[in-house]
Amino acid sequence: MAIIAPSILSANFLNLERDIEMINNSEADWFHLDVMDGRFVPNITFGMPVIAAMKTKAKKTFDVHLMIVEPEKYIEGFAKAGADILTVHLEACTHLHRNVQMIKANGMKAGVALNPHTPVDLLKDIITELDLVLVMSVNPGFGGQKFIERTYRKVSDLRKMIRDHGADTLIEVDGGVTLENAGHLIDHGVDALVAGNTVFSAPDPVEMISKLKEVRSV
C-alpha cells in the first residue's frame, strides 16, 4: 500500500480550507506542497505564509517540494512554516550534502528531487543520508502533464541503489500519476505517489484517494 500525497497545486486556491478538510477526512497520508519561484521553474506558486496558514488546519504530514534556486536561504523558514519533509532539487544545489544536513538540523526529513534528465547515479554518494528521493516523472512546473515512461527504469535503478547501500530512503514519484500507472510504479519500488490532477479533477476526490490507496502491484 503506497503513501498517497495529493498535490495542493491542483486544489481550489479560493477555498483551500475546504480542500484541506477533504484531505484530512480522506485516506491520504501526506499533503504535497509545490513551492515554485519562477526561476528554477517557469511558474510561481506559494510560499511560507500560505504553508503556515494551511498548517493551522491540516492534520497530516507536510511534504514540501521546493522548486527554487538557492533553497539553503529558506530552509529555516520552511521549518518554521510547518514543513515535515523538505525536498530540494539536486539541480538547484551546488552543495547538496550541506543542504541535506541543514534540513535535518532544522528538524525535518530530507528529500532530494531529480528532474527527468538527471541520472539516479548522481545520488550514490549521498543516498544513505536521504530520507526521501523524489523522482520527477514530468518536467517540474505544472500539474496535469503526461507521465514520462522512462521513470519506471529510474525507480528500479534507485530501488537497487537503496538496497545495495542498506539505506531506508523512501522513493516518491511526482507528475502524471494515474490509477493506470500507479500499480506499475509500486511494482518498480515506489513508496509514495503524488497526485494532483488525478485527485482534484475526479468527480469524488475522496473516493479517488481511496482507489489510489487500494492499488497493489500488478
Q: Does 37 bind Zn ion (CB under 5 A)?
A: no
151 with 184: CB under 8 angstroms? no
In the set 65, 89, 154, 188, which binds ligand DX5 (CB under 6 A)?
65
In the set 34, 37, 131, 172, which binds Zn ion (CB under 5 A)?
34
- The stretch among 31-39, 48-56, 158-166, 206-214 that binds Zn ion (CB under 5 A) is 31-39
| Surface-to-core class of residue 8, CB atoms within 10 Å of its CB (0-12 exposed, 13-18 middle, 19+ buried) | buried
Cβ distance to ligand DX5 smaller for residue 10 or 169: 10
Q: Is 121 a catalytic residue?
A: no
- The stretch among 3-11, 83-91, 123-131, 205-213 that binds ligand DX5 (CB under 6 A) is 3-11
Q: Does 174 bind ligand DX5 (CB under 6 A)?
A: yes
- The stretch among 10-18, 59-67, 114-122, 201-209 that binds Zn ion (CB under 5 A) is 59-67
Q: Is 34 a catalytic residue?
A: yes
Q: Does 32 bind ligand DX5 (CB under 6 A)?
A: yes
Residue written as grid cell 527504469: 153
Give the ranges where 124-178 is alpha helix by DSSP (H). 151-164
How many other CB atoms sit within 10 Å of the CB of residue 117?
A: 10
The continuous run of DSSP H or E covering 34 comes out as strand 30-36
Question: Rounded to the nearest 5°, which phi and psi values hold at 206?
Answer: -65, -40
34 with 8: CB under 8 angstroms? yes
Q: Does 174 bind Zn ion (CB under 5 A)?
A: yes
Q: Does 7 bind ligand DX5 (CB under 6 A)?
A: yes
What dihedral angle (degrees, nearest 10) is formed by the CA atoms of 188, 127, 118, 154? -10
Q: Which residues bind ligand DX5 (CB under 6 A)?
A: 7, 9-10, 32, 34, 65, 138, 140-145, 174-177, 194-198
